[in-house]
Amino acid sequence: MIDDIDRAIINGLQGGFPICERPFAEAAARLALDEDELIGRLARLRADGVLTRFGPLFKPEALGGIAVLAAMAVPAERFDAVAATVNAFPEVAHNYAREHALNMWFVVAADSPEGAERALERIAEATGLEVLALPKTREYFLDLRIEA
């Protein structure tokens, strides 16, 4: 369970974490907490899985990298085995089961479009399934902040 202080931390600290010698002290002051308490609560929230991580969120395209969304129609009886095969690729950053004929959706991240293409080809080979590549053509909006 999270309490009101956890909630204030999650809502107040999804961005704007300072870059300075004692950033937790500075962030804690904004939340009327002290440095040790903020660090302790973040460690607990991360250990409990309420936070998936605490740190910078990079934009791969700005670093010369690329992230490509891909979808596959996986036969139900092979779903778990295919998921294991796909997840074993280090290029696969996330993978979701979705309710649709195209029932597996994953993101491949690589250092170049060619690298992403090669990873997708290897996934198609390893699974024997068609991989539908849906790279973004344009980003209208991205803000993954969510309310606790």
For residues 57-116, which are near other proteins according to CB under 8 A?
57-60, 62-65, 67, 69, 71, 73, 83, 86-87, 90-102, 104-107, 109-111, 115
Contact flag: residue 128 with other proteins (CB under 8 A): no
Question: Of the two residues 17 and 122, which places its CB atom closer to other proteins in the complex?
Answer: 17
Contact flag: residue 148 with other proteins (CB under 8 A): yes
* Token pair of 7 as six digits: 């909630």
CB of 126 to other proteins, least distance (A): 15
Contacts with 137 (C-beta within 8 Å, 6 or more apart), sequence order? none
Contact flag: residue 121 with other proteins (CB under 8 A): no
Contact flag: residue 4 with other proteins (CB under 8 A): no
Region of 70 on the Ramachandran plot (φ > 0 left; ψ -120 to 50 alpha; else beta):
beta
Contacts with 20 (C-beta within 8 Å, 6 or more apart), sequence order? 26
Contact flag: residue 37 with other proteins (CB under 8 A): no
Contact flag: residue 118 with other proteins (CB under 8 A): no
Question: Of the two residues 18 and 32, which places its CB atom closer to other proteins in the complex?
Answer: 18
Element (H, E) at 122: helix 113-127
